[in-house]
Amino acid sequence: DTGVSQDPRHKITKRGQNVTFRCDPISEHNRLYWYRQTLGQGPEFLTYFQNEAQLEKSRLLSDRFSAERPKGSFSTLEIQRTEQGDSAMYLCASSLVQTYGYTFGSGTRLTVV
Amino acid sequence: AQTVTQSQPEMSVQEAETVTLSCTYDTSESDYYLFWYKQPPSRQMILVIRQEAYKQQNATENRFSVNFQKAAKSFSLKISDSQLGDAAMYFCAYRSAGTSGTYKYIFGTGTRLKVLA
């Protein structure tokens, strides 16, 4: 296992389209997190899962955003009806319950045109 | 709500010299963790060093050390013998110990470190 994988690395989409990103965490990690990072800013928390349960969601996660982690393995983040303000880097990270350091993926850069 | 502030958008250091990056935070919690993460250009974020708030001793990892001042809510990162590979964006982050039921990080806005040859 080489770390946290995110797919795709880059996504360009037209405003109004739906997009879905995938994150594969380190296999034994039971916590999975999604963050959004815009240019010149630090990452902002979106949501996190412990196994398959989504335990916390940020107010940033509007109704157009949904995340799933079926069977506690990989996770998907879907954005419906994309807007230009959704353009950002979407970061996934994973960790074990008993640790407090994350392992981050390389991110998916979304550009909405 | 907790906040993390990095007041230095950009810093420069000569190769082999020492540089200190500043971070302050605000919280009403007594138990928490603090982190420094490094984000090289177009690459993933990597944990540099972490500090448990209940520990008085400052954390050290090779050339990286912190100055943790709990009462002042300050958490600075010192990089000794700077190397060209240290050039990156550095983020300070706060995480509750979990007693409040949240495990999310709160990040600062980052400090871009340039290393001059």
Q: For A63-97, how does the pLDDT look when each residue is reduced to its tens digit (9 = 90+)?
A: 999 999 998 899 999 999 999 999 999 999 999 87
Kindly list the distances between the CA atom of residue A77 and the CA atoms of A96, B51, B58, in Å, as whole numbers in the listed order.
Answer: 21, 31, 38
Q: pLDDT above 90 covers what percent of chain A?
A: 76
Say if residue A43's pLDDT is above 80.
yes
Structure confidence by residue, pLDDT tens digits, A14-29: 999 999 999 999 998 9
Mean pLDDT score across all residues of chain A: 92
Nearest CA-CA distance, residue B43 and chain A, Å: 6
Taking contacts as CB-CB distances below 8 angstroms, the residues of chain A near B103 are 31, 48, 56, 100
Phi-psi region of B16 (alpha: psi -120 to 50; beta: other; left: phi over 0): left
Per-position DSSP letters for B43-104, written without gaps between them: S--EEEEEEETT--SPPEETTEEEEEETTTTEEEEEE-S--GGG-EEEEEEEEE-STTS---
Residues 6+ apart with CB under 8 A from B81: B16, B17, B18, B63
User: Over 80: is that where the pLDDT of A103 sits?
Assistant: yes
The pLDDT of residue B99? 66
Is residue B55's pLDDT more than 60? yes
- How many percent of chain A have pLDDT more than 70? 97
- Which residue is it, tokens 């034994």? A28
Say whether A8 sits in a helix, a strand or coil. coil
Of chain B, the end-to-end C-alpha distance in Å amounts to: 41
Of the two residues B97 and A88, the one the predictor is more confident about is A88
Contact B43 A44 (CB under 8 A): no
Per cent of chain B over pLDDT 90 is 83
